[in-house]
Amino acid sequence: MTKLTVLPHETLCPGGKVIEAAEGRSICDVLLENGIEIEHACEKSCACTTCHVIVREGFNSLETASDKEDDLLDKAWGLELTSRLSCQARVDGSPLTIEIPKYTLNQVSESK
């Protein structure tokens, strides 16, 4: 099991949370399984940026992002050098600390 620390997020996880995550699981799945309802408008198919997270610690332990993920991340709100789509980044055994950005760009909800 890997320690995944989620920094406080105003609405999704106000107090922050420390989670024990199974290796090989996506960060998005780990968050959802632990009651942190991160957006995932494309149902985790790497077709949007709503599950964008910033990896504050442990970024180099993650597999390199695919070209498709990198292209999508260019459109994410609050992009940083350690940004990843949580549906694509998989826990590998090294402790991680993540921050969920305050905003997401959800084309579906914004068009209503």
Residue 111 has pLDDT above 80, yes or no: no
Domains of the chain and CATH, by start? 2-104 (3.10.20.30)
pLDDT value at residue 106: 62
The candidate with the shortest Cα–Cα distance to 21, out of 48, 47, 58, 66, is 58
In angstroms, what CA-CA distances link 40 with 1, 49, 79?
24, 8, 17
pLDDT for res 107: 47
pTM above 0.85, yes or no: yes
Q: Each residue of 62-95: pLDDT tens digit?
A: 999 999 999 999 999 999 999 999 999 999 989 9
Q: Which of 8, 76, 6 is nearest to 41 (CA)?
A: 76
